[in-house]
Each structure stands twice: as structure tokens, then as C-alpha cells.
Amino acid sequence: MASADSENRPGTQEAIPQAVKIIVAGGFGAGKTTMVASVSEITPLSTEEVMTEASQGVDDLGGVENKTTTTVALDFGRITINDDIVLYLFGTPGQDRFWFMWDELVEGALGAVVLADTRRLDTCFHAVDFFERRGVPFVVAVNRFEGAAVYETEEVREALDVSAGVPVVMADARERESSKEVLVALVTHIIDSRRPAMSG
Amino acid sequence: MSAEGRHARRLTDRGTDSSTDGNEPRPDDGREDAEYERFLRPYAVDVGTAEAVPPTTAGTTGPADLDLLALVMAARTPGRHEWLRPERETILNHALRARTVAELAAEVGLPVGQVRVMVAEMVADGSLQRCGPSRPLGRQDILHAVLVGLRSL
């Protein structure tokens, strides 16, 4: 029996790569999905998480009628780094009320990109705050929107009040090359920031 | 607008067959009409229950152990004997190579939470196996490889 299907026995022959992830965060409409799509080797995949929450302050004695559901879309892309590593890029759900999902998303992530929209800079305060408090390395990428005023990276840094050690880079999320540079800046930052902490 | 106070939709009931006539589900006073733009398709997928999977002990996998990037792979050939639960065969077909839970959810078209429960059950019954990378790398090696890989994109 075992020998009968051993020929096309699923997936025993191929090397299994390690799956790692980088989070792309930012406010609603900051360009997260655009950035993921511009560097992903596949059309970004989308899945949903349906959250069921018991109504606030009510003991759940009645079953479903006391619960409400919320559907959160989760978009992600993929970059095959080499035979050993596949990098996944996860866009965070943009709306603030989906914060509860961030903890799981961020768990085990290499780091994060915070996409800033200079027209609505305040929409990424939460993301900056979140990663700072959890000690997740991140870079701020200022997504250039047409028609938006042009700011220097230092102005953005000051406005966001991020520490000098956090790279702030300009980006165009629609451009593959630009998005790639942002990711390179992030990974470089992660590598660099791990080193001096020891010798410091 | 509080973070928890607004919800896309309230599920009125589970077994509404007879009760819907006299008691149509409707938005509360229509106040939140804007938030009802999205309907939740009812699922008729037998995903079992999280409780059906034995609590995690050494060597077993519960849904909570399956994060988005947990890797699983088919441990048997997809067959027809699961015809009452075709989602499982679909999962198997997509998992002929190692797949992450997130990818399976996207490919099967079901929410991650449901897929997690199904995958955990399938690991428990031997249809799927969890797998780790063939060549586990340290974090520093990963970072350097990712940097090189990104630069050469």
C-alpha cells in the first residue's frame, strides 16, 4: 500500500524553504497594497480573517446573537530570495479598529516598513508607535503622492518624532525599484542596528 | 466612533429557517446603514471545532500553533473519499509542495481562521504534515541572504 503511491507521493523530494516576513504598515490608503504588489513575484494574495467578538461588557450566555463579526482582509505578496528563503510581505489592515490583528502579524517578522502619506501624516502615528514600543525594527518610507507637497525626509522625521536611528526614505510605492530600495534600507537597518547594541 | 463599538454586521441567528418570516433581520434603526454594505456569506463548511482538536501536547498541533507562515505539506494523495468535505481535498491539492497557512487560505478562498482549524485537524488525522525548512538558518544568515536577494531583484 505504501509502495503503491510512493511514486507520486506528495512533496517529499523538494527542499523546503524557510518562510520569513516583513510587515508593510501605514494608514488607510497610504499605498501598502501598492507597494506589496510592486515587488511581489506573484499577484498579491488576499485572504480574510473573520473575527468574532463577544459584545463588550456582556456575559456571553446567549450564543451567536451576542457576538458580532468583522471581516478583515489580509493582503500579502511573495519574493523568493533563494532556494532556502522565501520572503512574504504582509500589508497590515489599514483601519485602526483592526489593531488586534497586528500582534500576530508582527510575531516573528524581520521588521516593518511604515508607509507615510504626507497629506495625512497622522495616519501612521499609530504604526510608528506600535513598532517602537515592541522594539520591532522599522523604516519610514514617505510615499510620494502626486499633488502632495514635497517634504524633506528630515521634516518628516521631525513631524513623526522618530529617533535619529530610524531611516526615513522617500519612495514611490508604484515603482518596483523604489519599493525594492525601501526593503533594502530596512534590512540594512536591521543588520546595522543589531551590531552596535552589543559593543555599545 | 469607538474602536469596538461599530461592527460590519450583526449575525442574527444560526437557525433562521422558520424564524425569518416574522422577524426579519434588519439593521438597528437603520443607523448604521453605511456599515452594512458588506454581507457576510454564510459558511456551510464543516471545519470541525477547535475543541475537537486535542489540546496541544508534545507533538500535536492545534489551530493556535499554526501561525500565518506555518508550513504544511500533504502527507497523502488527495482522494475522493472526502467528497462530503471537498475543502480538505482542495487543501491537499494545494499542499503537494510545502505551503504556508496564509497561502492555503488564499488559494482555498476561506478565512485564515477556518483554514487553521481544518489544517490542524488534517495534521491530527495524518493527511497533512507540518514541516520545517530543509536548511534552517540563523537570523543573521537570513538577514544577509535577504539583503543579497533583494538587491539582485
Residue A29 lies in a domain: yes
Domain span at residue A155 reads 18-55+67-199
Residue A118 lies in a domain: yes
Residue A1 lies in a domain: no
CB B85 within 8 A of CB B108: no
Mean pLDDT of B78-103: 85
Q: Name the closest residue on chain A to residue B152, using Cα atoms.
A: A81
Q: pLDDT tens track of chain A, all 200 residues?
A: 444 444 445 545 578 999 999 999 988 888 999 999 999 999 999 888 776 654 444 444 444 455 566 677 889 999 999 999 999 999 988 666 677 788 888 999 999 999 999 888 888 898 999 999 999 999 999 998 877 778 888 999 999 999 999 999 999 999 999 999 999 999 999 999 876 544 43
Question: Does the beta carbon of B84 lie under 8 angstroms from any beta carbon of chain A?
Answer: no
Which run of H or of E encompasses A77? strand A67-80
Residue A163 lies in a domain: yes
Residue A8 lies in a domain: no
Q: Which residues contact A98 (CB under 8 A, 6 or more apart)?
A: A70, A72, A92
Q: What is the pLDDT of residue A194?
A: 73
Beta-strand relationship, A45-54 and A111-117: unpaired
The nearest CA of chain B is from the CA of A87 a distance in Å of 8
Residue B45, pLDDT above cutoff 90? no
Inter-chain CB proximity B145 and A85 less than 8 Å: yes
CB A103 within 8 A of CB A131: no
Beta-strand relationship, A85-91 and A67-80: antiparallel
Alpha helices in B2-138 (DSSP H): 86-94, 101-108, 112-124
Closest in B69, B95, B153 to A19, CB measured: B69
The nearest CA of chain B is from the CA of A78 a distance in Å of 10
Give the separation between CA A107 and CA A102, rounded to whole angstroms: 8
Give the separation between CA A21 and CA B89, rounded to whole angstroms: 28
Q: What is the pLDDT of residue B78?
A: 83
Q: What is the pLDDT of residue B10?
A: 42
Inter-chain CB proximity B136 and A46 less than 8 Å: no
Give the separation between CA B130 and CA B124, rounded to whole angstroms: 10
Residue A83 lies in a domain: yes
Closest alpha carbon to A25 in A141, A154, A175: A141
DSSP state for residue A28 in the 8-state scheme: T
Residue A42 lies in a domain: yes
Inter-chain CB proximity B140 and A194 less than 8 Å: yes
The number of folded domains in chain A is 1
Question: Does the beta carbon of B13 lie under 8 angstroms from any beta carbon of chain A?
Answer: yes
* CATH assignment at residue A88: 3.40.50.300
Kindly report the number of other CB atoms within 10 A of residue B36's CB atom.
13
Contact residues, chain B, for A14 at CB < 8 Å? 97-98
Q: Name the closest residue on chain B to residue A40, using Cα atoms.
A: B153
Q: What is the pLDDT of residue B85?
A: 77
Beta-strand relationship, A67-80 and B9-10: antiparallel
Inter-chain CB proximity A47 and B136 less than 8 Å: no
Cell numbers at residue A21, please?
516576513
Alpha helices in chain A (DSSP H): 32-39, 102-106, 125-134, 153-160, 176-194, 196-199
Mean pLDDT of B116-130: 93
> pLDDT tens digits, residue range B124-139?
999 999 999 999 999 9
Residue A9 lies in a domain: no
Residue B6, pLDDT above cutoff 50? no
Inter-chain CB proximity B146 and A81 less than 8 Å: yes
